[in-house]
């Protein structure tokens, strides 16, 4: 993890990231350039959870800095928030080869670090981006269609799910539904 990604404001976030230094717990370590721990506000009202780093993210050591990240930035701004006000991280911290979906065992190995991050961050709301994130968080095997439009919980924190921005880039017609999800997020944060 790069120094600027370490969030010194909260010693326990730093502690978690230190536990990941030189991590070789799963095979994703073999192809990575950088561990992508997470970035943003260490005391956020809203946390976004994606799937795993892509090429750009792996190169920079930062989450959502590629094309999908640009759309995520717009999604955040559409609900009157700035990227630096929220926290952004992923289920797996290392890039899967060819951006494949992380496997069950990779998720099982890496997700405890996400769970620790989320309990330290303790946001008002968690938004899962796509099926991998919501399934990993809720330990459920159901379709995104059945998980959207519902409020779930993780350690007493409300959890909602919407489409992954990479999916929205490929399927722009789903943006309408994503906008409904974002409006719901805005109103939950206002409560
Ligand atoms: N897609 C993800 O799921 N996470 C990132 O960090 C970038 C793209």
CA distance 157 to 171: 30
Residue among 53, 114, 163 whose CB has most ligand 1 atoms within 8 A, to mutate: 53
Sheet order of strands, 46-50 included: 39-40, 87-90, 46-50, 125-129, 157-162, 152-154
**16 CA to middle of ligand 1, Å?**
20
Q: CB-based burial of residue 113 (10 Å sphere; 0-12 exposed, 13-18 middle, 19+ buried)?
A: buried
DSSP annotation string for 104-123: HHHHHHHHHHHHHHHHHH--
Per-residue pLDDT band for 2 (boundaries 50, 70, 90) equals: low
How far separated are the first and last CA of the chain, in Å rounded? 35
| Number of residues written out for the chain | 191
Q: Whose CA is nearest to atom 7 of ligand 1?
A: 64
**Residue 160 forms beta bridges with which residues?**
127
The ligand 1 atom at the shortest distance from the C-alpha of residue 63 is 6
User: Does pLDDT of 93 surpass 70?
Assistant: yes
Tens of pLDDT along 11-38? 699 999 999 999 999 999 999 999 999 9
**Chain-centre distance of CA 45, in angstroms?**
14
Structure tokens at 18: 């230190």
Structure tokens at 59: 């190169």
Structure tokens at 105: 């065992």
**11 CA to middle of ligand 1, Å?**
25
Per-residue pLDDT band for 7 (boundaries 50, 70, 90) equals: low
User: Does pLDDT of 4 surpass 70?
Assistant: no
The ligand 1 atom at the shortest distance from the C-alpha of residue 88 is 6
The ligand 1 atom at the shortest distance from the C-alpha of residue 57 is 6
**Coil, strand or helix at 89:** strand
Residue whose pair of structure tokens reads 């006000």 in the numeric block: 85
* Residues framing ligand 1 (Cβ under 6 A): 50-54, 57, 63-64, 66, 68-69, 90, 166
| pLDDT score at 44 | 98
The ligand 1 atom at the shortest distance from the C-alpha of residue 36 is 6
Closest CA to 51 of 133, 158, 143, 148: 133
**64 CA to middle of ligand 1, Å?**
5
Residue among 39, 144, 166 whose CB has most ligand 1 atoms within 8 A, to mutate: 166
CA distance 190 to 104: 36
Tens of pLDDT along 120-153? 999 999 999 999 999 999 999 999 999 999 999 9
């Amino acid at each position: 993890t790069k120094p600027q990604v370490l969030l010194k404001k909260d010693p326990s976030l730093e502690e978690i990231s230190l536990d990941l230094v030189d991590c070789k717990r799963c095979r994703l370590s073999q192809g990575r350039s950088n561990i992508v721990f997470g970035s943003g506000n260490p005391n956020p009202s809203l946390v976004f959870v994606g799937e795993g780093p892509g090429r750009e993210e792996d190169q920079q050591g930062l989450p959502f800095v590629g094309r999908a990240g640009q759309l995520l930035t717009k999604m955040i701004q559409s609900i009157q928030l700035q990227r630096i006000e929220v926290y952004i991280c992923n289920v797996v911290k290392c890039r899967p080869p060819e951006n494949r979906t992380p496997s069950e065992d990779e998720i099982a190995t890496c997700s405890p670090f996400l769970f620790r991050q989320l309990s330290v961050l303790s946001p008002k709301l968690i938004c899962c981006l796509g099926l991998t994130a919501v399934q990993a968080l809720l330990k459920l095997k159901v379709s995104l269609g059945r998980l959207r439009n519902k409020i779930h919980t993780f350690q007493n924190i409300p959890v909602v799910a919407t489409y992954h921005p990479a999916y929205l880039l490929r399927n722009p017609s789903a943006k309408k539904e994503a906008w409904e999800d974002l409006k719901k997020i805005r109103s939950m944060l206002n409560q």
